[in-house]
Amino acid sequence: MKHNQEHECECGHEHHDKDCHCGHDHAHDCSHDDCGCGDPGCDCEGEDEDKEHLHQPSKYDAALAKYETNLDDAAVTQAVDAIIEARVAENNTEEVKKRILSCLDLTSLRTTDTEEDILHMVERVNRFDDAHPDLPCVAAVCTYPNFSHLVSQSLEADKVEVAAVSGGFPSSQTFTEVKVAETAMALHEGATEIDIVMAVGKFLDGNYEDLCDEIDELKSLCGEKLLKVILETGLLRSAANVKRASILAMYSGADFIKTSTGKDGSAATPEAAYVMCQAIKEYHEQTGRMVGFKAAGGIRSVHDALVYYSIVKELLGTEWLTPRYFRIGASSLANALVSDIVGEDMHCF
């Protein structure tokens, strides 16, 4: 093993590297410096042991090794097409649409949102709950964290949660300390569910330790309140990466894994949903822990919703088809569902 060392040299460089042209040979054999035996003349195996230690797989690699992550994108697309062809039509029923409505996170995440906008949205949820006792209400109202107090104080509909995006949404590009503070404030202000974005840059860089530690810290902060981790699947480039990200998020404590923010051109896809549900199924088989699935980003039509419902039902079963384990994040979808159920154009939300 060679390394450069500080020494006296007429060239004037205190620390030498490959760019020094003084003519001196600054590299020396220091293979015994780090072996720990204390004998400069020894021929022990210290260096080999150090190298072996450095190449030991991490606990994150060990966790991923339990699952098949080398997926074929074309095979995933083929499997999704088969589910859509076989199941969507049979799931196109009033009962299913009511169930999807009950699993909806009614969302407003616009840069232009005002307190008045959010209050009107909450009031529409309250009115719907009173005016349509025969229909289920949405699962949650989802906003930016600074509106959590307003939503929690004005929401009257039974069993509707107060969800807040947090943790540097939508990019996740900020300090962990800022993410912790923002999440703590949202919870203090009345949020009962938190949606964060996985640090996609860390994932793509292979920095699984920092990625997972951050999710774990935010989940510890949430306690019994649900933490949904957004994978931003449109930026992950392959089905294999979607599978790995899903496993790491669940391993780190996510209560839900979620497709997308709907920002930055990223939207949910049936293919990503299929891989995520496959990961949830395998994780449940390995650990016994049920993790929820949330689709979000670009889901506007009843047909879109039926596609995601069908994938969840096919891979995970009816046990997952409740607000505790299945969500769709959307805004206009709520009115489309109600209109389909009652048979006339409705603008309840």
**Residue 348 domain-assigned?**
no
The residue-averaged pLDDT of 91-98 equals 98
**Does residue 240 contact residue 45 with C-beta atoms inside 8 Å?**
no
Same domain membership, residue 244 and residue 111? yes
Contact 228, 268 (CB under 8 A): no
Domain shared by 277 and 326, yes or no:
yes
pLDDT, mean of residues 174-199: 98
Contact 286, 245 (CB under 8 A): no
Nearest to 238 by CA among 62, 74, 81: 74
Q: Are residues 31 and 141 in the same domain?
A: no
81 and 146 share one domain: yes
User: Which structural domain, as residue segments, surrounds residue 273?
Assistant: 62-342
End position of a domain, from candidates 56, 75, 92: 56
Name 30's Cβ contacts closer than 8 Å, sequence gap at least 6.
Answer: 1, 2, 3, 5
Domain assignment present for residue 33? The answer is: yes
- Contact residues for 102 (Cβ-Cβ < 8 A; gap 6+): 136, 137, 138, 139, 323
Find the radius of gyration of the CA atoms of the chain: 26
Q: Which helix (H) or strand (E) holds 338?
A: helix 333-342
Span 310-333, average pLDDT: 97
What average pLDDT does the segment 185-209 reach?
Answer: 98
The residue among 56, 77, 97 that closes a domain is 56
- The pLDDT, as a whole number, for residue 44 is 52
The answer to whether residues 106 and 159 touch, using CB atoms and an 8 Å cutoff, is no
In a domain, 50, yes or no: yes
Same domain, 88 and 21: no
Q: Are residues 79 and 219 in the same domain?
A: yes
Examine the domain organization and report whether 30 and 66 are in the same domain. Answer: no
Please tell me whether residues 182 and 199 are part of one structural domain: yes
State pLDDT tens for residues 113-143: 999 999 999 999 999 999 999 999 999 999 9
pLDDT at 303 over 70: yes
pLDDT of res. 43: 54
Q: Give a yes or no: residue 303 inside a domain.
A: yes
Catalytic residues: 195, 258, 294
CA atoms within a 13 Å half-sphere pointing along the CA-CB vector of 281? 16
Residue 347 domain-assigned (yes or no): no
DSSP code string of 33-45: TTTSS--TT---S
pTM, whole model, 2 decimals? 0.84
Residues 66 and 52 in one domain: no
- Give the chain's domain count: 2
Does one domain contain both 264 and 336? yes
- Residue 28 is assigned to a structural domain of this protein: yes
- The residue with tokens 């919703």 is 305
Please state the rounded mean pLDDT for residues 209-231: 98
Last residue of a domain, one of 12, 39, 56: 56
Q: Which residues contact 149 (CB under 8 A, 6 or more apart)?
A: 189, 190
Question: 275 and 131 share a domain?
Answer: yes
- The residue among 153, 130, 149, 138 whose CA lies nearest residue 107 is 138
* CA–CA dist 300, 262 (Å, integer): 12
Q: Which amino acid is at 146?
A: N
Give the DSSP per-residue string, 64-84: HHTS-----HHHHHHHHHHHH
Rounded CA-CA distance 230/184 in Å is 18
Is 253 part of any domain? yes
Residue 196 has pLDDT above 60, yes or no: yes
What pLDDT does residue 264 have?
A: 78
98 shares its domain with 207: yes
Q: Are 104 and 121 in contact (CB under 8 A)?
A: no
pLDDT greater at residue 18 or residue 297: 297
Quick check: is 186 in a domain? yes
Share of the chain above pLDDT 70, in %: 84
CATH number assigned to the domain comprising residue 97: 3.20.20.70
Q: Are 302 and 98 in contact (CB under 8 A)?
A: no
Q: Alpha-carbon distance 88 to 311, whole Å?
A: 9
Does pLDDT of 213 surpass 90? Answer: yes
